[in-house]
Amino acid sequence: MAAPIDLHEVSEREREARFRTRWRVKACGSTACISAGAGAVINAVEDMVEREDMQLEVQVIPTGCMGLCSAGPLMRMMRRGGQETDYQKVTPELSREIVRSHVINEEPLPEHQLDTGIPFFTSQERIVLANGGIINPDRIESYVAHGGYSALEKALTTMKPKAVIDEIRTAGIRGRGGAGYPVASKWSLLSAAAGDTKYVVANGDEGDPGAYMDRTIMEDDPHRLIEGIAIAAYATGASDAYIYVRAEYPRAIERLDRAIRVARRNRLLGRRILDTKFSLNVEIRIGAGAFVCGEETALMASIEGRRGTPRLRPPYPTDSGLWGHPTMINNVETLANIAPIINNGGEWFASIGTAKSTGTKVFALAGDITNTGLIEVPMGTPLRDIVEKIGGGVPDGGTFKAAQTGGPSGGCIPSKFLDTPVDYESLRELGSIMGSGGLIVMDDSQSMPDVAKFFMEFSMDESCGKCTPCRAGTVQMHNILQRIVDGHGTRGDLRDLEHLCTVVRDTSLCGLGQAAPNPVLSTLQYFRSEYEALLAKEVAHG
């Protein structure tokens, strides 16, 4: 059996390598930037460095997401000694000009630079996204050089499993998948469960429209997820783990597969991890893209090779999960927080955010907003700060109308609640939820009945069909919404819509159906006049 990786030696070797080249060019290679042409940018820079024979002077490093997707492709020039300059909307032609001017002639190009002093960057606190734009996701050495796997080593060599769970309890972290269940409580349940076979599952079945937080973590920092899974398994007594990823994320699947193989080769997975008694096998399971498989019992059915439909609880997964064995399911972002908590302590994490919603939250900021991209802010950050400071407000002098949080399971928050702190309790009071972290901003040109219809159509299409309230109720609600937005609705339709919302919410089997009415209910609560205006049109034409 090969010797385990020496984390300290690898870190020192990587740090020394940083000083062997005068320039490091970090180019964003995230999916968002790739879709804007970053692949050609990276190739152009690498070709120019080779053509000019500058390999000893310039190192090209493809990185993960730098955050401000609307300004991509992004490229960062880092001179030995600490000077950094960021460039935005880089093309292959511009990348060659940047290298020629900035590196060879030492003349930066200010007209193409990105100001990293704007609130989009300065108002964030990055824990989960700390390595974004910093490390090369395909090199374990890059992750290790930035503290990677030190938390796992600390847990395995200096902490008992119960001490790990106690640290997570002190942190107060709640599940980042939407429900906000206390993580330590779930870990304790699995730890106390009877049986020698236990499973840990990372839920990467991210399906909310406009959301790509988990995808980015899996693509850009795969070892961070693997480390979190390993710590969770050690704390709870599990020896097998699965990462469930939807098939629409091929880049994430490829990166995770490579990272698992490299981690196993370096004795960070497999038998006797880091020469301890702890062993763990991690495998990837690919889902077919069903939104309902984000629900934990449907997800387990899919892993087992069955149709992904939910089942009644109890029994809960920690009692009877995969193949009847105790199973714990955590969202990808949740597990990406674990290593920093172990390294820095639960009290450190609990000092961020609010008393009941600790730590930070990653959001995919999209819609009618100037700065779109991935952000990470402390829990409790006012919605106004996210929209106006970090997001840069509505573009072209538009007026903010609402923010949709929680995707198809969430609600629309109107402008009068812009100063609401973004945490679990505050959003629930407004009829919305945190969800996995999608945050869609809408200006005053948006029709809220149309928005409700869009999300209802999504829920209708994604219903697994197992229970009648969700299967038939979402169809009926969508039909009513269609009549209303077409101008053919009646006040009776409005009453039926509200009644159906209540029935579907209270009688559906799983969270998809139970939360499907939320966009309708929240828009009826805050924008009822828009529905009534459409009804008035129908009456006038009658």
- pLDDT tens digits, 509-524: 999 999 999 999 999 9
**pLDDT tens-digit readout, 205-258:** 998 888 999 999 999 999 999 999 999 999 999 999 999 999 999 999 999 999
Beta-bridge partner residues of 405: 411, 439
> Quick one: which H or E segment has residue 90?
none
Q: Which residues contact 528 (CB under 8 A, 6 or more apart)?
A: none
Average pLDDT, rounded, for the chain: 95
pLDDT confidence tier of residue 537, bands split at 50, 70 and 90: low
63-80 mean pLDDT: 96
**CB-CB contact of 478 with 515 (8 Å):** no
CATH assignment, 147-349: 3.40.50.11540
Of 510, 430, 445, 517, nearest to 480 by C-alpha is 517
Segment 486-495 long-range contacts (CB within 8 Å, at least 24 positions apart): 487/534, 487/537, 487/538, 487/541, 488/538, 489/531, 489/534, 489/535, 489/538, 490/535, 490/538, 490/539, 491/535, 493/535, 494/531, 494/532, 494/535
**CB-CB contact of 336 with 217 (8 Å):** yes
464-492 mean pLDDT: 96
Say what the pLDDT of residue 16 is: 86
Q: How far is Cα 113 from Cα 86, in angstroms, rounded to an integer? A: 6
Query: What's the sign of the alpha-carbon dihedral 96, 102, 103, 105?
Result: positive
Instruction: Say if residue 541's pLDDT is above 70.
Output: no
Say what the pLDDT of residue 210 is: 84
Of 153, 238, 253, 249, nearest to 207 by C-alpha is 249
**Neighbouring C-beta atoms of residue 305, cutoff 10 Å:** 7
3-state per-residue secondary structure call for 272-289: CHHHCCCCEEEEEEEECC
**CB-CB contact of 377 with 352 (8 Å):** no
Task: Name the phi and psi angles at 356, rounded to 5.
Answer: -100, -15
397-406 mean pLDDT: 95
Could you tell me whether strands 400-405 and 373-378 are parallel, antiparallel, or unpaired per DSSP bridges?
unpaired
Instruction: Say if residue 113's pLDDT is above 90.
Output: yes
CA dihedral 506, 181, 293, 518 (to 10 degrees): 40
Checking phi first, is residue 106 left (phi over 0); if not, alpha (psi -120 to 50) or beta? left
**pLDDT tens-digit readout, 87-108:** 999 999 999 999 999 999 999 9
Instruction: Say if residue 539's pLDDT is above 60.
Output: no
Q: How far is Cα 179 from Cα 190, in angstroms, rounded to an integer? A: 18
Q: Which residues contact 253 (CB under 8 A, 6 or more apart)?
A: 245, 247, 284, 286
DSSP annotation string for 331-387 = EHHHHHTHHHHHHH-HHHHHTSB-SSSBSEEEEEEEES-SS-EEEEEETT-BHHIII
Highest mean pLDDT: which range of 10-19, 172-181, 274-283: 274-283
For 448-541, the fitting CATH number among 3.40.50.300, 3.40.50.720, 1.20.1440.230, 1.10.287.3510 is: 1.20.1440.230
Of the candidate ranges 182-186, 289-293, 376-380, 528-532, the one whose mean pLDDT is the lowest: 289-293
CATH architecture of 7-115: 3-Layer(aba) Sandwich (3.40)
Q: How far is Cα 226 from Cα 223, in angstroms, rounded to an integer? A: 5
Q: Any idea which fold 360-443 has?
A: Ubiquitin-like (UB roll) (3.10.20)
* pTM as predicted: 0.96
Laid out side by side, the sheet with 327-331 consists of: 281-287, 240-246, 199-204, 327-331
Q: Is 42 exposed, middle or buried, given 0-12, 13-18 or 19+ CB atoms closer than 10 A? A: buried
Say what the pLDDT of residue 478 is: 98
Checking phi first, is residue 149 left (phi over 0); if not, alpha (psi -120 to 50) or beta? left
Instruction: Say if residue 536's pLDDT is above 80.
Output: no
Instruction: Say if residue 19's pLDDT is above 90.
Output: no
Say how far residue 450 (Cα) sits from the centre of its chain.
26
**pLDDT tens-digit readout, 249-308:** 999 999 999 999 999 999 999 999 999 999 999 999 999 989 999 999 999 999 999 999
**pLDDT tens-digit readout, 355-398:** 999 999 999 999 999 999 999 999 999 999 999 999 999 999 99
The amino acid present at 475, given as its one-letter code, is V
Task: Name the phi and psi angles at 28, rounded to 5.
Answer: -65, 125
Say what the pLDDT of residue 88 is: 98
Say what the pLDDT of residue 435 is: 85
| Domain extent listing, the chain | 7-115, 147-349, 360-443, 448-541
304-322 mean pLDDT: 96
